[in-house]
Structure formats: C-alpha cells, structure tokens
Structure 1
C-alpha cells in the first residue's frame, strides 16, 4: 500500500492536509505501510530508541575520560557544571545533551545514528531537552521522533545525509532540520510551521564542510553537535512565531544537494581540507599516526 507515501516535503504536507493529521502520524502510518508492522510494534521500536538516547546522554555525562585519541571527553560534564551565563534553560540543556551523546559516540558507547553517527546528538538532545523543560509526556516525544524521521527521509531521498557525499551540511544540517521540525510539533505548531522550521534551519547551514581532524568523528564533530542543537531551537522559535522561508522547502533541499555536488572532495570527510589541514590539525594527525605505528 502507498496511501501515505511521500517523496517531498510538499507531498508530506499535502498528506497532513488531506487526512487532517499531524506530521508524526503520517510518518508513522507510512512506516507501518513500508514495514508491514502494526502500530503497536512501530511505536515500541521508537520507544526503545528513546531508552538508548537517554543511555547515551548519561554515558556521555558520567564518563569524563578522554577518547582513545585524547581529542574529546568531559566537555558535556564541564558545560553542565558551569554557571549559566548566556543561554536559556532549554538551549543550555540541549547543548549539554548533544555534547554528551556525541562524546559517547566518540568513545564507542551505544548511540542511535539519527541520521548519522557524526550528527547523532542533535535530534535527541533537542527533543528531550524541550520535553523535559516543558514537562511533555513520553508519548509526545515518540511522536516528535516520527516527525524528525519524516523530515530526514525526504532529505535523504532528494539530497543526502552523508558527510562523504554532501559535507556536514548533510549531516549536522539534516539533523538540525529534523530536530527543528520535531520540536515545533511537540510545542503545538502546525505541520506547515514544522516544515518551515526545518527549512529555516537547513538553509542556514548550506555549505557547511565536513573536515574531521585525523579522520576521526571527534573534532570538530562533537562541539558542532552542541552548536547545531541550539541552531535547531532558533529555527523552531522563528517558525512558531510565523516566520517563513522565502525559498520553498523542497527548493532548499535541492540547493543543499547541488552545493554538496559542487563541494570539493577535500571538504567531504576526507580530512584533506578545512580544519583537518590546519597546522594543528596536521600535527594531531601525524602524532596519532605515529602512535598507531608504535603500538
């Protein structure tokens, strides 16, 4: 059955209008069609993902040791313990959670790639931070994650979510767009506002390169997750206020795809450009390579 099939953000919105359903419900019904699983099973799978998200947050906060490379570790706990100076409670919590989850990833603890391991902190950090601050129930979180999944599926279909293909605009950019749409619905926004949030978010990360130092998903990846969690909240806030993108949603996705194609290979996860080729970036890579040879 293809009753709830969508290939674009416009088609996704059309389905919400046609059936008078929120984005999350349309995405869930599509998942049921594709997987041929009942609603209870699909909901249970998503519910278990939330358990992993919380596990990753706690692991990242509690384990303050350095990663094997020595490049990351302890920053989530450091931010959580520091006195608040500028960020509001939701933004600060989201940033802490995003750092924690991505630090957990860097140290090989269990995470959920959403949409990728390198950007795994953004979606859960934003949704769970908002849900905790606003006292939303777990069922609402489950629905929000379906909304995020629907946005990610469209971007993956029409552009990409891999840094090796489209740069970090495809990884952290997609994750932030997913998160922004999800929390708009979580906060009572309309499907149109949710898609606008994703669009506002994505259009403002276009051109973001993927330049991991020493080829590791650590620098700048971990801190980038923290930054783009806050970016997603900014887009959501704008969309909830009625701000819209001048460029339509699907055109923004297409632009991301074209920019990814035009981006040099050196800036697409090869560690041959950007931060990876700074003097310090090269020194780190050489030092780690030497350490591996000596093992």
Structure 2
C-alpha cells in the first residue's frame, strides 16, 4: 500500500477515505472491514480509558527517572498553550509515564511513542466532545499512515532511530487530527508529511536504555508537532515533497545513522556525564 494509491482511489470515488482504507486492508489481508473497524475501535477505547484514568497522575517508573511530569503540568496554569494543546500535552506525558511504570498502553506505533496518538484522540473527546465513531474514523487514517511507514520504511528505533518511532507517531496523529476536521485525504497526506519531515533525523538515545529519558517528554513535544502540522494542512499549507517520498527519505536517513544513535543507549544524550551518573546510581540501588 502506498499513500499515492489510496489517495487516487479517494479522488476517483465519492467513498469516505476511512472506508477506502478498510477496503484496501481487506484486499491485502482478506479480513472483513467490519472486523478491522471493530478492532480499531477496541484500541481507541483502551487509549481513551487509560488516558482518562491516568490524566495528570503521578507514576512510579522502573528507575525513578520520570513519573511526575504530567502531575506538574496539570497543576500549572498554562501561560502559552491553548486548551487543546494543554490537554494533549498532559495526556501524552501521562500515557508515556504510565508506560514507564509498566501500565497498560497501546503501542501506537511503539511503546516508546505511545503517548502521541492518544493525546490527540483524547483531546478531541475532552475539548471538542468528539463522538466515538468520528474518533475511530480518524484513527483508521492514522493506522494507514503507520502501516505505510512500517511497510516502506520502519517504525523501529533500533532500525531507524527515534524518527521512526516518535516521527511516525506524530505523522499518524497529525493525519488523524486533519481528517477529523476536514475529511480531506489530500490534506491528511500533507499533514503527515509535514510532521514526519519536522522530526526527520531524530536519534534514539534512551538514558540507560530505559524508555524514560528523553522518551516521555518527546511524546509531549511530538503531540504539539502533530497539532501544529495539522493546523497548517487544514489552512491549505502543503508539503512540497509527497508523503511516500518523505517516508523513503526517512528510511535512507535511518540507514545512515550510526548504530550508537539507534536505541543502544551508547550515543546522544545517553552518553552525557549526567546521564552516565544517573545510570551508575541506578545500578548501585539495584545491587
């Protein structure tokens, strides 16, 4: 599946884009579109349920390196963020910290990037009172974006750096948000492209190899990238480079990355003096 292919199908018919995606999935996998949609709905329900349960709460992570970021933000009177961004940012932090504390999450597309898409979907529900049916339809679009990236490139930080995880999550979230407000497949492609380009080249450098620093806060930042790029796409701003080509470029960039920058914990901020001291402190506590 390529984005160009499903976009052309959308342009040639009057069928809603989410239904075209379900049909294409049926052709590729043989699965009933109703079953696929119900499976997607269950994933959305888990994301929304966990977002509500963990919204702004403190967590105890495995290492203690994170766990109170969402709590700090919810107790802060925002000076810059609007309501939607504020809710999405808290949700992204809460979800990522829930993951770090071994809580229930939907890997979307991965555990390390699990907070971005739920941030957008929960903010739609909480701020815009979005109906479940519309949220699921938007999530189907994000699923197609993630599926295309997974098949054409990679969603693994070990294979392609954090751009493959958090970049993909941002592209998925941006497309979902754009579809909710426009139902325009072409704009969804531009949104996903703008988001993925914004995070291209991002390395995967978890301190100590744990999905905590910088992963948790990157989820929050990426959620805001998704919101910004969706708003641009909705305004008619286009990505000069088509989505499929952006994905191909991301794959090439990932291949060019040194292995120390791909989830090994041997590069980037993971090798800073402070990071190394934190890891040594963790080792001493665990002895």
Same fold (TM over 0.5): yes
The 5 Å alignment of 1:94-109 reads 94-109=88-103
Quote the residue 1:3 is aligned against.
none
Q: Determine if contact 2:170/2:223 at 8 Å carries over to the other structure.
A: yes
State yes or no: 1:226 paired with 2:216.
Answer: no
Aligned-residue offset at 1:35? 4.7
Q: 2:55 aligns with which of 61, 74, 79?
A: 61
1:167 aligned residue? 161
Q: CA deviation at 1:43?
A: 2.5
Once residues 284 and 14 of structure 2 are traced to their aligned partners in structure 1, the CA distance between those partners, rounded to angstroms, is 60
The answer (yes or no) to whether the contact 1:60–1:103 under 8 Å persists in 2 is: no
**Deviations, residues 67-114 of structure 1 (Å, cap 9, x unaligned):** 120111121122122112101111111111111111110001111101
- In structure 2, the partner of 1:21 is 15
Q: Which residue number corresponds to residue 194 of structure 2?
A: 200
CA RMSD of aligned residues (A): 1.5
Contact conserved, 1:164 with 1:270, CA < 8 A, in 2? yes
Aligned match for 1:246, one of 202, 218, 240? 240
**After the TM superposition, which of the residue ranges 77-86 and 150-159 deviates more from structure 2?**
77-86
Residue 109 of structure 2 contacts residue 146 of structure 2 at CA under 8 Å; is this kept in 1? yes
- What's the offset of the Cα at 1:133? 1.9
Matched, 1:49 2:43: yes
TM-score (norm 2): 0.95
Number of residues paired by the alignment?
287
SS of the residue 1:187 aligns to: helix
Structure 1: give runs of 5+ residues left out of the alignment.
1-5
Aligned to 2:207: 213
Residue 247 to residue 65, structure 1, CA distance change in 2 (3 Å): closer
CA distance in 2 between partners of 1:282 and 1:60 (Å) = 30
- Determine the structure 2 residue equivalent to 1:133: 127
Q: TM-score, normalised by structure 1?
A: 0.93
Measure, in 1, the Cα distance between the counterparts of 2:183 and 2:35: 27
Offset at residue 20 of structure 1 (A): 2.6
Question: Does the 8 Å CA contact 1:27/1:149 hold for their aligned counterparts?
Answer: no
Q: Which moved more, 1:13-22 or 1:113-122?
A: 13-22
Alpha-carbon distance between aligned partners in 2 of 1:171 and 1:12, rounded to the nearest angstrom: 23
Q: In 2 relative to 1, CA 257–47 (structure 1 residues): closer, same or farther, beyond 3 Å? A: same
Query: How far off is 1:189 after superposition?
Result: 4.2
Q: Is the 8 A contact 2:195 2:226 kept in 1?
A: yes
CA contact (8 A) 1:60 1:76 kept: no
